[in-house]
């Protein structure tokens, strides 16, 4: 019962929404300075959205409770930084290690013969993807023993892996590569927040396509019932490994982009707290809802970094009360909000539903009193 008219309408509305988003991003980039808090929030939130969606792919769609996200982000971040610092600046960055072992920069290499704009951005993207591949390779290695474990045991093993990795990257003997416990810096960044949003939009779209493919169905089948999935001929080990590798690939890319956003990089930033933050976003957004993860990332980062800042610095919503609104009060309020959300939305804000263009079109049709053709069954969308 496919209504051609409504499908065309949906794609028009979908394209229109994308164009509006792009226009808004361009306006923001044009009028706001790059250090403006709104720009910073958009950059960080889109990175968190990508990592949250990659974690959701594993925890929400395949049912593998892994807590290694920070570790794979660390791999992506270091790969990005190591291979993109301009050669001329390496002596300064690796000052304790004689300029380091690696003496080339992928973005620099591309910008030499493709020009400063196209070449540099292409080099950045390729280096980010290289970071994803490194994370994916480590996921493959670690997955061989670890994916035999179930639920909590898998969580503990992956968490341990991430912590060991962080310590390993600070090891002085690896200094010429990782700069030990010193900062890595001076690597290139996108000039605009639009770059972040577009690139991450593409990666998330890829994950959406994967989730809706035959592989995605197999992942969900494994989550719902391993024995039945195996009886249908789904190779459990292979599919779990695949989900783990793909999730880590995108976490690695997310890590690289987080390094870009932060401007300087050290292993200390990738503590297990970061994994918990992302887990929080996934759970609050709804386990098994991609749009839930994305929306929650933006809400979470915007309130943490921007909207609730006043709670720590004396003035919130125009109320000046330095006695109450002082350091630490923000975290107390955030904890309260989290508790309220968990109490009233026990399955997260979106549950396992998705926010879709189809749903938006239907909503507006209803709003303006237009009768939508009634389908025999519902379709689970909002």
Binding site for other proteins (CB under 8 A): 214, 217-218, 220-221, 223-225, 227-235, 288, 352, 376-380
Please enumerate in sequence order all residues whose Cβ is within 8 A of that of 211, keeping only pairs 6 or more positions apart, or say none.
57, 61, 219, 290
Helices (H), the chain: 4-31, 37-56, 69-84, 87-93, 106-114, 120-146, 151-169, 175-178, 193-211, 214-224, 226-231, 236-262, 272-285, 290-302, 310-313, 329-344, 357-367
Cβ proximity to other proteins: between 312 and 352 the closer is 352
203 near 50, Cβ under 8 Å? yes
Minimum distance, C-beta of residue 288 to other proteins, in the bound complex (Å): 8
Minimum distance, C-beta of residue 278 to other proteins, in the bound complex (Å): 22
Q: What's the half-sphere exposure (Cβ side, CA atoms, 13 Å) at 17?
A: 11
Cβ proximity to other proteins: between 120 and 221 the closer is 221
Minimum distance, C-beta of residue 106 to other proteins, in the bound complex (Å): 38
Cβ proximity to other proteins: between 330 and 362 the closer is 362
Minimum distance, C-beta of residue 89 to other proteins, in the bound complex (Å): 51
Cβ proximity to other proteins: between 89 and 347 the closer is 347
Minimum distance, C-beta of residue 377 to other proteins, in the bound complex (Å): 4
Cβ proximity to other proteins: between 305 and 352 the closer is 352
- Which of these, 81, 63, 141, lies nearest to 270 by C-alpha position? 81
β-sheet bridge partners, residue 319: 316
Q: At 175, list the tokens.
A: 């200094």
Cβ proximity to other proteins: between 42 and 282 the closer is 282
CA gap 206, 210 in Å, rounded: 6
In 10 A of CB 380, how many CB atoms? 10
Cβ proximity to other proteins: between 198 and 234 the closer is 234
Minimum distance, C-beta of residue 373 to other proteins, in the bound complex (Å): 15
Minimum distance, C-beta of residue 46 to other proteins, in the bound complex (Å): 28
DSSP notation for 87-141 = HHHHHHHTGGGTT-S----HHHHHHHHHIIIIIHHHHHHHHHHHHHHHHHHHHHH
Distance linking the first and last C-alpha atoms of the chain: 19
């Amino acid at each position: 019962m496919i209504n051609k008219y409504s499908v065309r309408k949906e794609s028009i509305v979908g394209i229109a929404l994308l164009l509006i988003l792009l226009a808004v991003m361009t306006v923001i980039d044009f009028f706001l300075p790059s250090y403006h808090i709104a720009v910073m929030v958009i950059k960080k939130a889109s990175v968190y959205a990508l990592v949250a969606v990659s974690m959701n792919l594993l925890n929400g769609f395949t049912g593998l409770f892994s807590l290694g996200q920070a570790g794979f982000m660390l791999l992506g971040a270091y790969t990005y930084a190591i291979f993109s610092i301009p050669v001329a600046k390496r002596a300064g960055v690796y000052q304790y290690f004689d300029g380091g072992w690696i003496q080339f920069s992928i973005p620099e290499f591309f910008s030499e013969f493709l020009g400063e704009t196209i070449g540099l951005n292409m080099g950045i993207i390729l280096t980010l993807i290289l970071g994803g591949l490194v994370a994916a390779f480590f996921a493959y290695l670690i997955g061989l023993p670890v994916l035999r474990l179930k639920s909590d045991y898998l969580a503990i093993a992956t968490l341990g892996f991430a912590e060991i990795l962080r310590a390993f990257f600070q090891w002085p003997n690896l200094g010429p590569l990782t700069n030990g416990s010193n900062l890595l810096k001076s690597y290139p960044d996108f000039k605009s927040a639009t770059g972040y949003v577009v690139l991450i939009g593409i990666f998330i779209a890829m994950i959406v396509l994967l989730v809706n493919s035959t592989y995605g169905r197999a992942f969900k089948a494994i989550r719902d019932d391993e024995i039945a999935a195996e009886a249908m001929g789904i190779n459990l080990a292979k599919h779990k490994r695949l989900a783990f590798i793909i999730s880590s690939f995108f976490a690695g890319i997310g890590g690289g982009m987080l390094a870009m956003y932060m401007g300087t990089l050290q292993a200390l930033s990738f503590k297990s707290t970061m994994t918990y933050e992302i887990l929080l976003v996934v759970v609050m957004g709804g386990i098994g809802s991609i749009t839930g993860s994305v929306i929650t990332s933006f809400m979470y980062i915007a309130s943490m970094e921007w909207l609730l800042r006043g709670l720590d610095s004396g003035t919130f919503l125009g109320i000046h009360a330095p006695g109450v609104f002082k350091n630490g009060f923000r975290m107390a309020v955030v904890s309260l909000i989290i508790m309220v959300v968990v109490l009233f939305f026990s399955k997260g804000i979106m549950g396992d539903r998705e926010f879709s263009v189809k749903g938006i079109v239907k909503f507006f049709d209803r709003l303006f009193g237009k009768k939508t053709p009634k389908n025999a069954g519902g379709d689970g969308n909002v």
